[in-house]
Structure 1
């Protein structure tokens, strides 16, 4: 019987001067950020700020036109697809629904970077898949066809696939998309327990404030602020980056910043 491998641990992610241009448009410009080993880092910003483009550059579906991306001392841009997938797992914002595979088969695909071509699954792989299905609350869906799932169910299955991949770095683009409140909280809570470094794009700033160790703010393709949630999520920044008026207080239970958005025409009293 194959022994289930231990979690591979975490690694530091470093972006330096990352840019991406296509079709005469510059979508990212000089992006630099650090994510420390084991840290859960949030990437926030308005629509069109470059969050998805940046995440795609990190997990390899796009190649930056400038800058470097390193995982510890490894140049990620120099790795082949299989070697990269052994260390980095990505969960995209929109899940393709055309896979005529079961949920179990989709989740098991997370083991493919660690196996030789056509190497069959073994008992260790099966145990990892069973564990991920249970942790993401989709065990009862294991034999369902992926296209038959709701958007939220598909999202949970894709996070389970990434978990099975045993990455050092986990990249998630809007992992709470399509999820109800319970699973938003459960998935973000789970991410913090995985032991790997995580970089995730979020629209909900209150979720980011509570679940992220540090936050990086994108505007017009560049980083305009980085730091702890309390350092970054201020009324002034929200007005500048999002064009909204908001009060930012400290939540009496969690101690995290709590953001209350004000209707247009009302001025913040903070």
Structure 2
């Protein structure tokens, strides 16, 4: 399976809110250069998932736009968008009454007409993707029977089969044990395509992402390289935790060590 072509992403003043003035995402500007891996970090409820859903088309922004190589993603048809954007949602769906291989092969549907069946090339792509994420042995299992981590890897394989120029991934390591967290993120990092992903684990974000955007209450409060963004001052302000941040002696990536609050003195 060869790598797919990368694309540039530009999010311009994107907002998503309600008629009463509440905004889940508020005037976000964001860029990702071709081939870049860009991470979204921030506390729960900061707007990461909403922003990603606006980018990949599950939600329509109330203001602003998302451009892929200059083309507005929200003026495309769903099928045209799916040919260019591969998505891995936060929680694997469980209502597919299909085998794992059939779910993965769904990634080819944007590239063919409605009535066309899978070709031998489609099947080969699906098998290669299953092997690449380590679940080839599960190809004939029913998708709902999989564990959360197995479903997540199957959805990563489905996105690979789409062969998109942009991957949008919402907590792609969700439900995965440590080995597969590293394998999935390494796989994504190695792809030529552009990647936009939300991560809770700041140390994984620091190691695998070229740049980070920090969201708080729906707005971007910091952006830059992991070393520029992940500072004790920012972690205290945004996450309300005390932490030490030092370069890892082997990787050079910022490493965050959280410091628990001392217990209250007994009386």
**Shorter-chain TM-score range:** over 0.9
Once the two structures are TM-superposed, the CA of residue 116 in structure 1 deviates from its matched residue by 0.3
Which residue, 6, 10, 14 being the options, matches 2:6? 10
Please provide the CA RMSD for this pair. 1.2
Q: Which residue of 2 aligns with 1:239?
A: 236
SS at match of 1:112: helix
Which residue, 249, 254, 257 being the options, matches 1:257? 254
Give the length in aligned residue pairs. Answer: 262
| CA distance in 2: counterparts of 1:41 and 1:64, whole angstroms | 20
Q: Which residue of 2 aligns with 1:248?
A: 245
| CA distance in 2: counterparts of 1:49 and 1:23, whole angstroms | 19
| CA distance in 1: counterparts of 2:57 and 2:217, whole angstroms | 21
Once the two structures are TM-superposed, the CA of residue 143 in structure 1 deviates from its matched residue by 0.2
Q: Which residue of 2 aligns with 1:63?
A: 60
SS at match of 2:97: coil
**Residue ranges of structure 2 left out of the alignment (5+ in a row):** none
| CA distance in 2: counterparts of 1:265 and 1:237, whole angstroms | 21
* CA-to-aligned-CA distance 1:26-49 (integer Å, 9 cap, x gap): 111110010111011110000000
Greater alpha carbon shift after TM alignment, 43-52 vs 117-126:
117-126
Which residue, 132, 135, 154 being the options, matches 2:132? 135
TM-score (norm. length: structure 1): 0.95
TM-score (norm. length: structure 2): 0.96
| CA distance in 2: counterparts of 1:265 and 1:33, whole angstroms | 38
SS at match of 1:199: strand
| CA distance in 2: counterparts of 1:199 and 1:98, whole angstroms | 26
SS at match of 1:109: helix
| CA distance in 2: counterparts of 1:105 and 1:257, whole angstroms | 40
Q: Which residue of 2 aligns with 1:19?
A: 15
| CA distance in 2: counterparts of 1:262 and 1:45, whole angstroms | 18
Aligned residue runs from structure 1 range 146-185, under 5 A: 146-185=143-182
Which residue, 118, 126, 133 being the options, matches 2:115? 118
1:200 aligns with 2:197: yes
